[in-house]
């Protein structure tokens, strides 16, 4: 591994300065005003080289209350602004993100550990959702219905909810926030964001970037709020002033969020675990399978909710597919993700490394066979202790460890005889996010996408499980949580539906022909 791209040579200090991040970072913000918090100190270390990026004090309960009070007041003004005007402000945010795409993409890569190409891609995703939201601001449509009563008109309309809480995960430090916030903003909501404490600098950078747009448009203080620190997560979940909480994270924490918010009759969008599988048909193009499976399994070091965890291969092409995969894994370059010659970067921290090792050991204990061995890498360039070798394990779908999502580059492979069996294996896990089938058989395609096919929120044919376009609604079923973000009609989650009936006659007939004379 090259040791030329250290924090110093990469220029992280100048990147932080360009993004307006100073040594005394704040742990809370209401848009333009930064709050110097006094909570627990949070250090952000890069998994790339183990270097300290910066520190921030978490928001206290008092800080949180200041932010919430400001957000509530901002909502009273923001909701009255015409939706196309709100969309215009989001358009300007997209332009501002274009200006800072390079430094923000580099910070995402350095603080999270994903490849520079993926870091830049994540910022592009933010830009794309801004563009989507601009058009959406003129398309918040309701329906018109025919009334059964004469001279009555029925229709439905959508109103903003209020303050939307966004709790995001480390693996997509900025994109998931934008999926939620840009749509919520054009819908008339204001947002309070609690980012992962593992990547606080990315969140501060985003708040700094859009601050110029907020100021230029005289947007009320509190439309875009930020609170950093784990304590703020439960403050959001328990807060009756927040009608919607969008949470991205583990199934374990998702259960807690769901229960807590439901107990106060709040709404949730939950993007939780994935245990995604690719089915490789006997009619599959193995060249395409290779790209989809390898990127799906090792991209972002296996730390995507859509990462490929299982490869279900037809018995007739099993040996050939394994041979092709083993050869491809042997060519993977593992190292500094800022170096474009590397395919695989680090896991987020050493806790993730330990979970990777534990998963491999459990798979072996259950009878799994190592096809490509995994290990933690040490030595020159791997000093952070977060680099691991992607591995492949021959396993059975009912292994306990296979049923569990491990956020690491571990790929389980298994055989099948019929497409029906393959679909049953694919569906035979608690999670239901993303799925894929590689085949040239029209019958298999249609069966996979039918009512009796994949039970996931995302089902692809001849592309992998990882990666999604912002035009489609993103989300899953079962223990993946439910709810949708990003495209299609996902905007409806950020608004409340209201049915209206207008009587323009000179009498008051009752519905269903009911008579009530007196």
Contact 173, 111 (CB under 8 A): yes
Mean pLDDT of the 244-268 span: 97
Contact 438, 287 (CB under 8 A): no
Question: What would the two tokens of residue 350 be?
Answer: 């050493």
Q: Which ranges of 302-383 does DSSP label H, i.e. alpha helix?
A: 318-329, 350-365
CA triplet 427, 460, 246: central angle to 5 degrees?
A: 75
What percentage of residues in the chain have a pLDDT greater than 90? 93
Contact 480, 457 (CB under 8 A): yes
Q: Which residue has the tokens 């999502």?
A: 405
3-class SS at 455? coil
| pLDDT at res. 6 | 52
CA triplet 159, 497, 273: central angle to 5 degrees?
A: 100
Is pLDDT above 50 for 317? yes
Cα–Cα dist 132/140, whole Å: 13
- Which residues is 477 bridged to in the sheet? 432
| pLDDT at res. 9 | 56
Q: HSE on the CB side for 365, CA within 13 Å? A: 8
How does strand 431-432 pair with strand 276-280? Answer: unpaired
3-class SS at 273? coil
Cα–Cα dist 98/96, whole Å: 5
Q: At what angle do helices 200-216 and 83-99 cross, to 10 degrees?
A: 130
User: Which helix (H) or strand (E) segment is 293 a member of?
Assistant: helix 286-298
SS (H, E, C) 54-105: EEEECCCHHHHHHHHHHHHHHHHHHCCCCHHHHHHHHHHHHHHHHHCHHHHH
Q: At what angle do helices 175-186 and 200-216 cross, to 10 degrees?
A: 30
Query: Rg (Cα) of the chain, in Å, rounded?
Result: 25
Query: Which tens digits make up the pLDDT trace of 291-311?
Result: 999 999 999 999 999 999 999
| pLDDT at res. 2 | 37
Cα–Cα dist 421/317, whole Å: 16
Q: List Cβ neighbours of 407 (8 Å cut-off, separation of 6 or more).
A: 171, 302, 303, 307, 347, 352, 355
Is pLDDT above 60 for 17? yes
Going by C-alpha positions, the residue among 124, 170, 230, 240 that lies closest to residue 407 is: 170
The set of catalytic residues is 271, 305
Contact 138, 83 (CB under 8 A): yes
- Which of 3-17, 19-33, 97-111, 474-488 has the lowest average pLDDT? 3-17
- Which residues is 225 bridged to in the sheet? 192
Helix, strand, coil percentages for the chain (3-state, nearest 5): 40, 20, 40
| pLDDT at res. 7 | 53
Q: What torsion, rounded to 10 degrees, do the Cα atoms 68, 71, 73, 74 define?
A: 170
Give counts: helices (H), strands (E), the chain.
16, 24
Mean pLDDT of the 484-489 span: 96
Mean pLDDT of the 364-380 span: 97
Task: Please state the φ and ψ torsions of residue 54, each to the nearest 5 degrees.
Answer: 180, 175
Contact 40, 200 (CB under 8 A): no
Query: Which tens digits make up the pLDDT trace of 86-114?
Result: 999 999 999 999 999 999 999 999 999 99
Query: Which tens digits make up the pLDDT trace of 100-156?
Result: 999 999 999 999 999 999 999 999 999 999 999 999 999 999 999 999 999 999 999
What percentage of residues in the chain have a pLDDT greater than 70? 98
Average pLDDT, the chain: 96
- Which of 7-16, 128-137, 139-148, 397-406 has the lowest average pLDDT? 7-16
Query: Which tens digits make up the pLDDT trace of 280-293?
Result: 999 999 999 999 99
Cα–Cα dist 23/16, whole Å: 9
Position 517 confidence tier, pLDDT thresholds 50, 70, 90: confident
| pLDDT at res. 225 | 98
DSSP output for 390-448: -EEEE--TTSHHHHS--SSSEEEEEEESSHHHHHHHHH-SSEESEEEEE-S-HHHHHHH
| pLDDT at res. 250 | 96
Cα–Cα dist 114/171, whole Å: 8
The sign of the dihedral angle between the CA atoms of 227, 126, 13, 45 is positive
Is pLDDT above 50 for 4? no
Mean pLDDT of the 226-238 span: 97
| pLDDT at res. 467 | 83
Task: Please state the φ and ψ torsions of residue 228, each to the nearest 5 degrees.
Answer: -110, 140
| pLDDT at res. 11 | 85
Please count the other Cβ atoms lying within 10 Å of the Cβ belonging to residue 511: 10
Position 3 confidence tier, pLDDT thresholds 50, 70, 90: very low
């Amino acid at each position: 591994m090259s040791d030329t791209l250290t924090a110093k040579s990469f220029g992280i200090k100048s990147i932080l300065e360009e993004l307006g991040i100073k040594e005394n970072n704040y742990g809370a913000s209401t848009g333009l005003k930064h709050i110097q918090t006094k909570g627990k100190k949070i250090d952000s270390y890069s998994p790339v080289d183990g270097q300290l990026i910066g520190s921030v004090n978490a928001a206290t309960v008092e800080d949180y209350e200041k932010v919430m009070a400001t957000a509530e007041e901002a909502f009273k003004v923001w909701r009255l602004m015409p939706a196309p005007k709100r969309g215009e402000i989001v358009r300007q945010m997209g332009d501002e993100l274009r200006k800072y795409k390079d430094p923000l993409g580099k910070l995402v890569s350095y603080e999270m550990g994903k490849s520079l190409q993926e870091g830049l891609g994540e910022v592009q995703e933010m830009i794309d959702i801004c563009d989507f939201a601009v058009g959406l601001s003129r398309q918040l449509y309701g329906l018109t219905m025919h009334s059964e009563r004469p001279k009555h008109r029925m229709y439905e309309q959508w109103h903003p909810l209020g303050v939307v809480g966004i709790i995001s995960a480390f693996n997509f430090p900025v994109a998931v926030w934008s999926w939620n916030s840009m749509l919520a903003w054009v819908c008339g909501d204001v947002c309070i964001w609690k980012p992962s404490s593992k990547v606080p600098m990315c969140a501060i950078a985003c708040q700094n970037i859009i601050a110029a747009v907020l100021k230029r448009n005289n947007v009320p203080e509190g439309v875009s709020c930020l609170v950093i620190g784990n304590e703020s997560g439960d403050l959001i979940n328990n807060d009756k002033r927040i009608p919607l909480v969008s949470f991205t994270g583990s199934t374990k924490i998702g259960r807690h969020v769901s229960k807590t918010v439901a107990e106060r009759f709040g709404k949730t969008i939950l993007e939780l675990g994935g245990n995604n599988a690719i089915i490789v048909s006997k009619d599959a193009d193995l060249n395409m399978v290779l790209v989809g499976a390898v990127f799906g399994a090792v991209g972002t070091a296996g730390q995507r909710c859509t990462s490929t965890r299982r490869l279900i291969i037809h018995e007739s092409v099993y040996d050939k597919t394994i041979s092709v995969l083993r050869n491809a894994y042997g060519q993977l370059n593992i190292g500094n993700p800022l170096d474009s010659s590397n395919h695989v970067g680090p896991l987020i921290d050493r806790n993730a490394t330990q979970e990777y090792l534990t998963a491999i050991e459990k798979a072996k204990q259950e009878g799994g066979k190592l096809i490509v061995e995994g290990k933690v890498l040490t030595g020159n360039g791997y000093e952070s202790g977060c680099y691991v070798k992607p591995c492949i394990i021959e396993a059975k779908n009912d292994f306990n460890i296979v049923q569990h999502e491990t956020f690491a580059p571990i790929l389980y492979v298994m055989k099948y005889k019929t497409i029906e069996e393959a679909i049953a294996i694919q569906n035979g896990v608690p999670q239901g996010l993303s799925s894929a089938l590689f085949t040239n058989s029209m019958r298999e395609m249609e069966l996979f996408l039918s009512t009796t096919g994949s039970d996931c929120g995302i089902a692809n044919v001849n592309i992998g499980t990882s990666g999604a376009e912002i035009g489609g609604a993103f989300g899953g079923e079962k223990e993946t949580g439910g709810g949708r973000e990003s495209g299609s009609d996902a905007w409806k989650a950020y608004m409340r539906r209201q049915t209206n009936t207008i009587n323009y006659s000179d009498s008051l007939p009752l519905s269903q022909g009911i008579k009530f004379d007196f």
